[in-house]
Structure 1
């Protein structure tokens, strides 16, 4: 039987293909216009579903800890759901021509590398918890992805490339947080060498 926290995590996983559907399938829902700048309604729906899914990330962990519902299934599903959501959005944005493939590779590679480090540490009985930089990385990625999904709407009206600025910040924080994880946990790698 799944507990509430795990159900929330599974909901995040179920929302992943819905985000991709609204991004990659050509629906003609029309456009929405603000200040004379318009964007496709399906992209707004995709962004809202993505935000909903991303917001469940902290919620499931909070509930699991608060109600003492931490399970091995939850420990497995939560990071998997996070990586699926971010990776699916990035790959969809590459397909849409809104993101360079190398940027997606940098972000996804960092996720795999840190996951590998966590697995090596877990084999020795050590847990590598999310750092403040890791949490900042997640927020930066979510903001950048939402702005890219919306094609910088409505900021393109005032000529501020906030999508590109936030993407640059997300890539830098992603790289720095990855280096930070490996530096702070270098003893895990040294012991295994």
Structure 2
């Protein structure tokens, strides 16, 4: 093993400990989440055990970080996100994040409102936050029927029946954050 490889591996333990503590997770909780023992996790964090790929992969997933971040790999290639729009259910969706798991960011363009006024409410696991970039949005959440314009935001549990669409004859553009159940994205107001 070269000195560079040794330096990279020596830094893994402190990064693992910092990630776990930042999440407020105990060794026992992380062990249950990854399938590794609490003893193994402790030895990895303290540098008494050299990490293997089989150990690092579930840890990267659990912490929601790329494997490169765990081992502090040198940057490779272009860090820019190359936007590749996807069309689904009449929407144009542009992924803004590349990492697997955790909170995901999207730009979503809703087409102009059609003549039909029906809304099919949906539910699914997760938590969502959106910010209106342009246009106006009709947002139905349970019994509430709201209209939001540029600069307005909403957050909600996606298990509540909901529907989002353009409120008028113009497309509506949203910045959307979506996370697995229990993860919330909060907007802190500057003024009250």
Give the TM-score normalised by structure 2. 0.26
More helix by share: 1
| Greater strand share, structure number | 2
Higher relative contact order (CA 8 A, sep 6+): 1
Q: TM-score, normalised by structure 1?
A: 0.26
